[in-house]
């Protein structure tokens, strides 16, 4: 499932095409994805100007002139692809429709944005912009890791006394928004902290040290266009490249990349997810 860097990469690709532009026609080709689409979604989107395109955790939020906000979640395999871009950033014309093109937004300027989702685990909803943060999917999400509310004092307090492994704590969207399995593994490797360490046993200094490392990992991944392991594509159809920079994720049995370390990357299962780490460097 796309994590924060992948969703932010998509947002940055879509923003020049959507922000300030009118949705000339919205075509909805099925009644649902993971959940049913909101009633009359096509009519509610058609003719609306997109005032802003935001990201909250792993969700895209398009604020419309109607006072509604379109929520988009990519799910496991969802892609937002641009064609016919009048800005000249993309070379492909509108492709022939495909089987899994579930929602198509034709913008007034000539661009087309297609939401393609073979597995149909994605989601879209419409909600009043003024109460968007209270939407059931957003209401309990913690602070954005690249924002000012996520800081050393906050994270130290949030982890204090927790008996869960630090890996599980950082995956908890109520503690910090948008982190997933890949970037937590990479963060803990850079921090030298084992994913098995109980969150509440970390010293205040070690807990605080995670904040700049989390930000660095996310920024590095965004710069690389995210990670493409299976289905993720950028809005121009290109792959992300951060997977080529993984230090631990997916590298079970490989030599640790820290200079002088002879440890091998190990994989363990935590809460049904694979954790990758170096037992010699991460304690």
- Six-digit token pair at 190? 């850079």
CB contact at 8 A, 278 and 189: yes
Average pLDDT per consecutive 10 residues, the chain (283 residues; last block may be shorter): 87 93 96 95 98 97 98 90 67 72 93 91 96 96 97 98 96 96 95 98 97 96 70 53 78 94 96 94 94
Distance separating alpha carbons of residues 176 and 144, to the nearest angstrom: 6
pTM summary value: 0.89
Question: What pLDDT does residue 245 have?
Answer: 76
The Cα-based distances of 237 to 103, 165, 176, 232, 233 in angstroms read 17, 37, 29, 9, 5
CB contact at 8 A, 167 and 195: yes
Quick check: helix, strand or coil at residue 59? strand
Domains and CATH numbers, the chain: 4-134 (3.20.190.10), 152-277 (1.10.8.50)
Question: What pLDDT does residue 234 have?
Answer: 53
Sign of CA dihedral 209, 210, 216, 220: positive
Question: What pLDDT does residue 175 have?
Answer: 98
Distance separating alpha carbons of residues 278 and 246, to the nearest angstrom: 13
- Six-digit token pair at 199? 């969150």
Active site residues: 2-3, 58, 273
Question: What pLDDT does residue 39 have?
Answer: 96
- Six-digit token pair at 28? 């909805």
Question: What pLDDT does residue 181 have?
Answer: 92
**Residue 156, H or E segment:** helix 152-159
Q: What is the pLDDT of residues 93-150, one digit of tens each?
A: 677 777 899 999 999 988 999 999 988 999 999 999 999 999 999 999 999 999 999 9
Q: What is the pLDDT of residues 65-81, one digit of tens each?
A: 999 999 999 988 888 88
Question: What pLDDT does residue 223 have?
Answer: 86
Question: What pLDDT does residue 241 have?
Answer: 47
Rg of the Cα atoms in the chain: 20
Question: What pLDDT does residue 72 have?
Answer: 97
- Six-digit token pair at 25? 């026609």
**Residue 182, H or E segment:** helix 181-191
């Amino acid at each position: 499932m796309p994590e924060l860097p992948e969703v932010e990469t998509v947002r940055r690709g879509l923003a020049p095409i959507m922000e300030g532009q009118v949705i000339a026609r919205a075509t909805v080709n099925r009644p649902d994805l993971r959940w049913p689409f909101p009633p009359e979604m096509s009519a509610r989107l058609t003719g609306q100007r997109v005032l802003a395109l935001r990201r909250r955790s792993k969700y895209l939020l398009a604020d419309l002139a109607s006072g509604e906000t379109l929520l988009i979640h990519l799910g496991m395999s969802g892609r937002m692809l641009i064609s016919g871009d009048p800005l000249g950033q993309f070379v492909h014309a509108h492709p022939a429709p495909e089987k899994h093109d579930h929602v198509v937004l034709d913008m007034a300027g000539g661009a087309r944005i297609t939401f393609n989702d073979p597995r149909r685990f994605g989601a879209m909803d419409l909600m009043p912009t003024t109460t968007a943060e209270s939407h059931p999917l957003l209401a309990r999400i913690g602070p954005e890791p690249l924002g000012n509310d996520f800081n050393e004092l906050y994270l130290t307090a949030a982890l204090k006394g927790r008996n869960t492994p630090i890996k599980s704590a950082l995956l908890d969207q109520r503690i910090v928004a948008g982190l997933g399995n890949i970037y937590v593994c990479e963060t803990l490797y850079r921090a030298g902290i084992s994913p098995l360490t109980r969150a509440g046993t970390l010293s205040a200094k070690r807990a605080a040290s995670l904040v700049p490392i989390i930000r660095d990992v996310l920024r590095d991944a965004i710069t690389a266009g995210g990670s493409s392991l299976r289905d993720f594509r950028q809005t121009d159809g290109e792959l992300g490249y951060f997977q080529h920079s993984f230090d631990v994720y997916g590298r079970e049995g490989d030599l640790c990349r820290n200079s002088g370390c002879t440890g091998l990357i190990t994989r363990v299962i935590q809460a049904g997810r694979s954790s990758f780490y170096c037992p010699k460097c991460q304690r």
